[in-house]
Structure 1
């Protein structure tokens, strides 16, 4: 099933937020985030490790429940339409959430993703197509995603039989992006974009994500330093002022507030707790 387009006919999802925040048992993972980005934007979430970058990425893709403020992705309100936001977004590499299996080969990852796509996203009409037609359609999607991610299987050590553990960091990033793009999402989210990359590879990674955005898909990328030409959301790890009437935390497991919840710090502990609250640490 193709991804829906927005009312103005574009493929990507507009992303907006105002006073957006998420609180865990021991503090704020992030707070007071505001953004307004058009469909097809390249959005960088910039900040030091432990400043809530990953939690913000997961909240904006409908995978973590925000505590306060408002957000909207592709016209879908957060947190009210979290499930709908998940359907139009896809995760690239996010440690602890959507990691590649180092023991599997590139071909095995692609085959698994195609099967999941057909099983969960295909219409009844698609499922009733002849097997050869379904296989050709799946192959076309994979080829399209690999091209968009810039991953040439012929250049890998053992081509598509190369194990993930043998991939260079940049090629692993390209594979993760390709897997996410198989579903033709309106929003692509990538964590730790510039982690453990050389200057040249970092430039190539941003070139890749900019190309995806120019193709119409909105891209949300966590990084330590954003390049020029991106819409930047900055997260910080120091204290943030509390509202006089703080909203009760509402993570997915309906955690009840405790005395620890009164801390004002946006800390690495707060980020880890918020991740743990959703079972994604």
Structure 2
């Protein structure tokens, strides 16, 4: 089942949190949802699962609104607030309570406890959980109904390195099974390891909806290190390349393929100590795309109004 957001708009008073937003999340891959603080990410996710009513437009899951799903937990698993479990309730009892609403078996409860690594803390009260353990409990709830679609808001927050690796592998395996996986994250380097597609919004409007490979493709940058850097740059200047010196013997060069650069250097007797292509990262592409959409900057109070 795909997630379809169609001309979605949501206004609070005079403020538009989301405006005329449209995109589609396809099954069989992990799709990241990105945007600066205040971009409208949480409002969009809440609208998809029926917690916010759009001012106009709609959000559909498998062609239906969330409220129209006959058994929502068996169709859509969500994690929007890692601390939503009642503080005084044991983790296993929280799972049992949620499972009872859809007739989900105790065997499935034990299964998701194992999947999320909660065995040793299942009888501990949720209020005593660290953020990382609360995230695992929230993911366990999302997985309870063995849903086809997963919608997760910042699922990596609070996880230790082992937990980050675990969630990456889990989401990748679920997508490989043909499920729809949609998650927001501020950890762009980590997201780039698991997501194939990203949807980027800013100030409530769509900025990009594209494969990560397309966003990170650019004119190839080449990093060179040589004791003859000035001579090399003079040689390449005639070809219209752009060079940024990093150290007296190292520079990043744009505008000439790495093989051509190496051949020209060799023909001129320039010894290259290092030469390697450098590709744009997702973080660099994201920063460039959202530069004009950042609402809160350093020196101001940051409040995530998304």
Q: TM-score, normalised to structure 1's length?
A: 0.61
Contact persistence 2:30–2:175 (CA under 8 A): yes
Question: Structure 1 residue 189 and structure 2 residue 151: aligned?
Answer: yes
1:232 paired residue number: 198
Q: CA deviation at 1:162?
A: 1.7
Local SS of the residue matching 2:122: helix
Q: CA deviation at 1:14?
A: 0.9
* Alignment partner of 1:31 out of 11, 19, 23: 19
* Alignment partner of 2:81 out of 81, 91, 94: 94
Contact persistence 1:47–1:236 (CA under 8 A): yes
1:150 paired residue number: 116
The two structures, once aligned, show a CA RMSD in angstroms of 3.4
Residues 18/93 of structure 1: CA separation in 2 closer, same or farther (3 Å cut): closer
Residues 233/168 of structure 1: CA separation in 2 closer, same or farther (3 Å cut): same
Mapped partners of 2:118, 2:66: distance in 1: 35
* Rg larger in structure: 2
* Alignment partner of 2:107 out of 115, 140, 156: 140
Residues 58/40 of structure 1: CA separation in 2 closer, same or farther (3 Å cut): farther
Contact persistence 2:16–2:204 (CA under 8 A): no
Local SS of the residue matching 1:161: coil
Q: CA deviation at 1:69?
A: 4.1
Which of the pair is proportionally richer in strand?
2
Contact persistence 2:96–2:106 (CA under 8 A): no
Mapped partners of 1:199, 1:21: distance in 2: 37
Q: CA deviation at 1:200?
A: 5.1
Local SS of the residue matching 1:117: coil
Local SS of the residue matching 2:102: helix
Contact persistence 2:45–2:151 (CA under 8 A): yes
Contact persistence 2:6–2:23 (CA under 8 A): yes
Contact persistence 1:14–1:40 (CA under 8 A): no
* Alignment partner of 1:115 out of 100, 105, 124: 100
Contact persistence 1:107–1:161 (CA under 8 A): yes
Mapped partners of 2:37, 2:159: distance in 1: 16
1:4 paired residue number: none
Runs (4+) of structure 1 moved beyond 6 Å?
Answer: 265-268
Could you say which structure has the greater relative contact order, defined with CA pairs below 8 angstroms and 6 or more residues apart?
A: 1
Contact persistence 1:42–1:213 (CA under 8 A): yes
2:135 paired residue number: 173
Question: Structure 1 residue 206 and structure 2 residue 190: aligned?
Answer: no
Residues 82/166 of structure 1: CA separation in 2 closer, same or farther (3 Å cut): closer
Once the two structures are superposed, what CA deviation does each residue of 1:153-207 show, in whole Å capped at 9, x if it has no partner?
0xx2xx4212223334333212211122222333222222233445554343333
* Alignment partner of 2:38 out of 50, 67, 85: 50
Contact persistence 1:170–1:205 (CA under 8 A): no
Q: CA deviation at 1:99?
A: 0.7
What are the ranges of 5 or more consecutive residues in structure 2 without an aligned counterpart? Answer: 207-292, 297-303
